[in-house]
Chain A
Amino acid sequence: MTRRTLNDPLLLRQVHLDFHTGPQVPDIGLHFDEDEFGDTLVKAGVQSITLFAKCHHGYSYHPTKVGKPHPNLKTNLLRRQIDACKARGIATPIYLSCAWDELACHEHPEWRVVDEHGKWITTGGIDHLQGPSWGILDFGTSYLDYLCAQIEEVARLFPKNDGIFLDICHQYVSLSSQSMDALKAKGLDWQNTEHLVRHAADMRDEFLRRTTAAARCVHADLPVFHNHGHVTRGDRRILGFDSHLEIESLPTGGWGYEHFPVSARYAETIGAKYLGMTGKFHTFWGEFGTYKPGDALEQESAMMLAFGAGSSVGDQLHPSGIIDQTTYERIGQAFKLIEDREAYHSGSEGLAEIGVLSAEAINDPYTIRTWPKHVPGDEGVVRLLLECQMQFDVLDRNCDLSPYKLLILPDEVQVDTDLKAKLDAYLADGGKLLLSGKSGLGEDGFLFDIGAEYCGTSPFDVDYALLSAPEFGDSPKTPVCLYEGSQRIRVTDGTSLGDVYEPYFARSIKHFCGHQHTPNRREKSGYAVGVSKGQITYLAHSVFSIYMQKGPVVLLEALRNLIGSLLEEPMVTTTHEPCPVSG
């Protein structure tokens, strides 16, 4: 079987086979059987399986002159796994853990990340503050030399491999001795947080450059991916290091059902090749003997296909090397669906009428993030658009805005001079803008002529919106609680979308009323729930974050109607509620 290159399309049916195995566990790989392993994968329709060279415990599963094999490894497991797969035409990318390596933490504590208080940090695990969790290594130390030597060794030992998957690619701010020396050498101050962040970002860039080069020391066209549990929106530099993206997003493991669609619509928009990654676990990685229903894996994989992605299902191999038959029966169900529908994937591209300018992409593209990152405005607008059967892309500042009838800037998008110029050009070409909350607000009020005057943020913890404009459709005729104080606006030459009713007082320890909210005054506040002027519509609450976090159904209906009216002719409109039937 020839090896795969970064020019090949991604295979649609993949498994990510975790193998994080502590040193106390005996008989590693003792019961591995090539035929059982390979035939099980074939039967389940697996086209590619990511296999472990080095796990989070820091042990290797092949002979190594750089690292250490697992102390109880009974066989050349990785070689035998690869051979079993290759003999059956299954691709085998190879996995190495990066910032988590318990062995390196133990043998070289000077390589560990040291925080501002002089302490080692740990992350991950069930409860990283109280229970076992992973030590974090600093790529600004000699650990990077050790890691790159491990990657190169793997690339040379397995020259027919189909890619390198590098995991835990986080660089935290670190005051390790080597990082402090490097900071001083650069003339930076280790007591200055901004300097620390800048140095950490430099070290991450260095890590990306060197690990990519190490992975490609034999084949310059080898697929490489650096995972950190979230595709950070707005940082397109990753495309220089990652041949494709694997969107780690286990819906039951903390990511939820919106994280994948947001990430996929962004990945496609920036032109990346991408996979979805879910798990066979009931909750999260690291479970043995738990099974997500086959229907769930099937539906999650179908969702990936609908968003233009193949499916990678996460599993963890038992330390003995015995593959779990129950797991692969269920994965097989999901992969049967993908196989049957592959003709409806190749050469397809997304179709969108709405562009969502991601708050994460615009505001904060370079912050080092770990999984699972939730930006409530970004995920709230995507949840809402999915529930309204509307078609959207998720955008950063470099995207072409011209394809979209409507742009949504959810809740907190900070518009700087460059973005303002781009949005002005979009408006001049006839596009429409929907802004909410603090989106489009500058230091001196609104950056756009929204037809209203800005009067500051409400001093109240809650207020009430009378959604009276016809654009909201058949909304309640009484003020509805929106769980936060709005941005106060007085309408000038725009059209008001309704009145805000403010509470009698802000709830506090000094005075409160009832279980939750101070009721509204009977008279209107004089501030509006929103305003429209020409092509711009503004809503004074962080409606998308509210929808994500509180989920008021009233808001779903009102926003469905409002966004529908802005689109005028949505690509898809449901004409009546479909009927569920049994069986």
Chain B
Amino acid sequence: MPGLRVILRHQPENKRYLLHTLFSTPRLRGQNKSTNIEVIQEKVRLRDISLDLKLPRSITGAESVDAGEVTLSTVGGIQRLLIGELNGHAVVPLSYA
């Protein structure tokens, strides 16, 4: 899904990664100085975003900041994160030992 952004940051002092997710659908709304004006006009709620993670450190826990129910599991040796819901922007703090 090209509109889905997943951006990772690291908070070493908190021993966690921050997985930011964003989703929006800019709409074409005319032009200004020959460039398109694309305005984010509505929120579209997504559910069940499933991500396989291969981060520098193994994740021990996942929290939800407006991400609905968040589930961490291991599938075939790979850590899989299920994000229950995304309505614009959510953060999933991923802690490591």
- Give the interface of A toward B (CB within 8 A): 126-127, 251-254, 256-257, 282-284, 292-293, 295-296, 298-300, 302-303, 305-308, 337, 341, 344, 346-351, 386-387, 389, 391, 556, 569-583
In the assembled complex, the Cα of A295 lies from the Cα of B61 at a distance in Å of: 30
Q: Whole-angstrom distance between the alpha carbons of A300 and B22 in the complex?
A: 10
Nearest neighbor of B32 in chain A, beta-carbon distance: A283
A571 touches B55 (CB 8 A): yes
With A341-B65, A344-B91 known to touch, is A579 a contact of B48 (CB < 8 Å)? yes
Question: How far is B21's CA from A307's CA once the two chains are assembled, in angstroms?
Answer: 11
> Which chain B residues lie closer than 8 Å to A337 at the CB level?
89
A293-B40, A344-B65, A576-B50 given. 16 additional CB < 8 A pairs? Answer: A295-B40, A299-B22, A302-B20, A302-B88, A303-B5, A306-B89, A344-B91, A344-B93, A572-B8, A573-B51, A573-B52, A574-B1, A578-B47, A579-B48, A581-B47, A583-B45
- Considering the chains assembled together, what is the distance between the CA atoms of A489 and B41 in angstroms? 46
Q: Nearest Cβ distance between residue A131 and chain B, in whole angstroms?
A: 11
Residues of B within 8 A of A387 (CB): 2-3
Closest 10 CB pairs of A and B: A302-B89, A306-B20, A387-B2, A296-B40, A389-B6, A283-B32, A351-B8, A348-B9, A306-B7, A575-B50
Tell me if B24 is interfacial: C-beta within 8 Å of chain A: yes
Q: A126 vs B35: C-alpha distance in the bound complex, in angstroms?
A: 12
Residue-wise interface mask of B (49-81) relative to A, using a CB-CB cutoff of 8 A (1 in contact, 0 not): 111111110000000010000000000000010
Chain B interface mostly:
strand
Q: For the complex, give the distance between the alpha carbons of A544 and B17 in Å.
A: 29
Q: Which residue from B32, B41, B52, B91 sits with its C-beta under 8 Å from A295?
A: B41
How many angstroms between the C-alpha atoms of A569 and B52 in the bound complex? 10
Q: Whose C-beta in chain A lies nearest to the C-beta of B7?
A: A306
Closest chain A residue, CB of each to CB of B24: A299
Residue of B nearest to A582 (CB): B45
Q: Point out the residues of chain B lying under 8 angstroms from A389, CB to CB.
A: 4-6, 51
Chain B neighbourhood of A583, CB < 8 A:
45
Q: List 8 A-B contacts (CB under 8 A).
A: A251-B26, A257-B26, A293-B41, A302-B20, A306-B89, A389-B6, A574-B49, A582-B45
Q: Using Cβ atoms and an 8 Å threshold, which residues of chain B touch A293?
A: 39-41
- Interface size classification for chain B: 35 or more
Residue contact B40 to A341, C-beta cutoff 8 Å: no
Q: Which residue of A lies closest to B49 (CB)?
A: A578
B7 adjacent to A391 (CB under 8 Å) = yes
Give the shortest distance, in Å, between B63 (CB) and chain A (any CB): 10
Residue of A nearest to B44 (CB): A580
Whether A579 contacts B47 by the Cβ 8 Å rule is yes
A298/B89 contact (C-beta < 8 A), A308-B9, A574-B1, A574-B50 known? yes
Complex Cα–Cα for A305 and B50 (A): 22
User: How many A-B residue contacts, CB cutoff 8 Å?
Assistant: 150
* A54, B51: Cα distance in complex, Å: 50
CB distance from B27 to the nearest CB of A (A): 10
User: Which A residues touch B1, using CB under 8 A?
Assistant: 574, 577-578
CB neighbours (8 Å) of B80 from chain A are 575
Which residues does chain B contribute within 8 Å of A578, judged by CB atoms?
1, 4, 46-50, 86
Given contacts A253-B32, A254-B33, contact A574 B5 (CB under 8 A): no
Q: Is the CB of B5 within 8 A of A251?
A: no
Closest to A253 in B: B32
Shortest distance between the CB of A583 and any CB in chain B (Å): 7
- Once the chains are docked, how many angstroms separate the CA of A127 from the CA of B31? 13
Complex: how many Å from CA A253 to CA B24? 18
State the Cβ distance, B90 to closest chain A Cβ, in Å: 9
Considering the chains assembled together, what is the distance between the CA atoms of A431 and B14 in angstroms?
30
Instruction: Decide if B8 touches A391 in the complex (CB within 8 Å).
Output: yes
Kindly list chain B residues whose C-beta atoms are within 8 Å of the C-beta of A302.
20, 22, 88-89
With A and B bound together, what is the CA distance between A569 and B89 in angstroms?
25
Closest A residue to B85 using CB positions: A581
Q: Contacts A574-B50, A574-B51, A575-B52; is A348 near B88 (CB within 8 Å)? A: no
Q: Using Cβ atoms and an 8 Å threshold, which residues of chain A touch B24? A: 299
A residues less than 8 Å from B18 (CB atoms): 344, 348
Q: Which single residue of chain B is at the shortest CB-CB distance from A265?
A: B7
